[in-house]
Structure 1
Amino acid sequence: MTIVVTGATGRLGGRVAARLARPQRLLVRDAARAPRIAGASVAVADYSDSAAVRAGLAGADVVLMVSAAENPDRIAQHRAFVDAAAAAGIGHLVYTSFMGARPDATFTLARDHWATEEHIRGAGLPHTFLRDNLYADFVPALAGTDGVIRGPGGDGRVAVVAQDDIADAIVAVLRDPAPHAGQTYDLTGPQAHSFAELAAAIGARYHAETVEEAYASRAVYGAPQWQVDAWVSTYTAVAAGELDTVDPALERLTGRPATSLAEVLRQRP
């Protein structure tokens, strides 16, 4: 079975590539940055380069499509990749989506994932969607240099999930995709936490902002509006209760319990 892994130069795709104990093809934008993995070949393509994507996916039985970096053109990039995958005649597409993906999701970037899922369905590709919750690994980055997590998350809760757990779930699907065709899995941690609890876990504190305060406190970065909307809506999605579900799918896929936030933080350098 020919497996193609995209995003192998990143945190998630790199984890998946390192775990696959069989020949695989890494589809990357920069061959010089591709991880050195025994038995792995390397193909080069940007998601928007349809001809290069088709060549890189030729003969693929199953493809991991790691979502592209956040940018205003991400939906167009995803659609171009999916169309090229369909033209290449791949057997199965595994897409890393986001929990609660829908057209009216509070988290603005979850809407991108919904649009991508719909395009994959429309392309007629056998597929599996893995909808990740927020990454537990990134919790320490939520705090500012003053040791405060600020955002309009209220008392909402979020079932943060370990990237290593997600990688294990992806590998399970890639190795035997047929039973997972047409399935959508929510990948979460074993417990939902409030922002106050997340802050306490990293020795910080939480300051609950209003939405107006959140936009004002982030204006200093000079980021484009779409990005600020994404930052703020990460918190408002939690406040709205859209990320608090604890789902058993990860344990069913990996055969072991999901990793707790405390354990993820303990394992960090």
Structure 2
Amino acid sequence: MIIITGANGGLGRLITERLLERVPSQRIGVSVRDPEKARELEDRGVRVRRGDFGDPASLADAFEGARQVLVVSTDSTGADAVHHHRTAVEAAAAAGAERILYTSHMGSNPSSPFAPMRDHAATEAALRESGVPFTSLRNGFYASSAAMLLGHALETGELAAPEDGPVAWTAHADLAEAAALALTGEGLDGTTPTLTGPEALDLADIAAIATRLTGREVRRVVVSDADYRASLLARGLPAAGADLLLGLFAASRQGQFTPVDPTLGRLLGRPTTALAEFLRTTITPTG
């Protein structure tokens, strides 16, 4: 039995779909907070059980009989995220899992200015402490975040943000396929090399791609951290969210998301998805 957490989320559902292409559905279980949203998977033969990282008893039931458990990282940050991840790791070990897998990040670093990277580093420490063989999938920075950072630039013609650094943007679909391969015996043990897309691009590069795809000029405009934070607050973003985003830019300036590694492409047996290819599916030409 292979258990996947967070299968109602974007990455978790993609991993489950890729896994269904490789193993019988009866060998797959999903741990989700809302089983009703996963009924379509249940109809296909997947075992669906409620599992909430904030409720250890529910995880004991969701992980029952697991040979492997894939813990998909939560969208929370800070102490709550680390506590939830540690709870899931401990529950997987208690269930007798022979391997625990975790969707980490290429920037995992206990001293990163980008808070989620500190959370990933703490979770990797919990994996090492568990005594169970593990695989920490150090995923490249999600390409979907590049689309998010474009924001209103497609309408205004200006991509205004603090100074940044190149990022190895990586498609969810590629990472989901890699996770499914790791769950079916591809030998990714311990902490993996960074699993990234084919190139590292900064926001100026993204503005140039957007210009080509839309037929309308998008200029990269560098603003100060303080001005960017003020603009976020003016748009209603809570202070904690604004500070989180500023940490992302600070970490990118340090080169924490820059390394490009061939491991993902070798694992997939094909070229990884370029950012321009990904953005072509998410933004619409205007010319």
Tell me the residue number matched to 2:76: 70
1:183 is displaced (CA, Å) by 3.5
1:40 is displaced (CA, Å) by 0.8
Query: Matches of 1:166 and 1:139 in 2, distance apart?
Result: 16
Match of 1:85 among 89, 92, 97: 92
Would the aligned equivalents of 1:165 and 1:258 in 2 still touch at CA under 8 Å? yes
Tell me the residue number matched to 1:13: 12
Query: Matches of 2:87 and 2:36 in 1, distance apart?
Result: 24
Match of 2:40 among 36, 39, 43: 36
Measured against aligned partners, the alpha-carbon deviations of 1:103-161 in whole angstroms (never above 9, x if no partner) come to 1012221001101110111111211111122211332221232343332234x211100
1:224 is displaced (CA, Å) by 4.1
Q: The residue matched to 2:194 in structure 1 has which SS?
A: strand
1:150-189 to 2 correspondences below 5 Å:
150-154=160-164, 156-176=165-185, 179-189=187-197
Q: Larger deviation: 68-77 or 41-50? A: 68-77
1:232-247 to 2 correspondences below 5 Å:
232-247=246-261
Query: Matches of 1:74 and 1:224 in 2, distance apart?
Result: 19
Q: The residue matched to 2:192 in structure 1 has which SS?
A: strand
Would the aligned equivalents of 2:5 and 2:30 in 1 still touch at CA under 8 Å? yes
1:59 is displaced (CA, Å) by 1.2
Tell me the matched-pair count. Answer: 266
Q: Larger deviation: 206-215 or 103-112? A: 206-215
Amino acid corresponding to residue 123 of structure 2 in structure 1: T
Would the aligned equivalents of 1:168 and 1:254 in 2 still touch at CA under 8 Å? yes
Match of 2:65 among 46, 55, 59: 59
Amino acid corresponding to residue 222 of structure 2 in structure 1: A
Runs of 5+ unmatched residues, structure 2: 212-217
Measured against aligned partners, the alpha-carbon deviations of 1:210-247 in whole angstroms (never above 9, x if no partner) come to 22222222222444443222211111211111111111
1:102-121 to 2 correspondences below 5 Å:
102-121=109-128
Runs of 5+ unmatched residues, structure 1: none
Would the aligned equivalents of 2:233 and 2:239 in 1 still touch at CA under 8 Å? no
Would the aligned equivalents of 1:161 and 1:259 in 2 still touch at CA under 8 Å? yes
Runs of 4+ in 1 over 6 A off after TM superposition: none
- Go from structure 1 to structure 2 and tell me whether the alpha carbon gap of 1:75 and 1:223 turns closer, same or farther (over 3 Å shift): farther
- Go from structure 1 to structure 2 and tell me whether the alpha carbon gap of 1:124 and 1:153 turns closer, same or farther (over 3 Å shift): farther
Would the aligned equivalents of 1:91 and 1:125 in 2 still touch at CA under 8 Å? yes
Tell me the residue number matched to 2:215: none
For normalisation by structure 1, the TM-score amounts to 0.92
Measured against aligned partners, the alpha-carbon deviations of 1:64-117 in whole angstroms (never above 9, x if no partner) come to 111011244111111111111111111111101111211101222100110111
Q: Larger deviation: 249-258 or 205-214? A: 205-214
Query: Matches of 2:273 and 2:121 in 1, distance apart?
Result: 27
When the two chains are superposed, the root-mean-square deviation of aligned CA atoms in Å is: 1.8
Query: Matches of 1:115 and 1:15 in 2, distance apart?
Result: 25
1:35 is displaced (CA, Å) by 5.8
Match of 2:277 among 257, 263, 269: 263
Query: Matches of 2:142 and 2:183 in 1, distance apart?
Result: 21
Query: Matches of 1:255 and 1:136 in 2, distance apart?
Result: 20
Tell me the residue number matched to 2:221: 207
Match of 1:49 among 52, 55, 60: 55
Query: Matches of 2:150 and 2:279 in 1, distance apart?
Result: 14
Q: The residue matched to 1:25 in structure 2 has which SS?
A: strand
Determine which structure has more spread, i.e. the larger CA radius of gyration.
2
Amino acid corresponding to residue 54 of structure 1 in structure 2: A
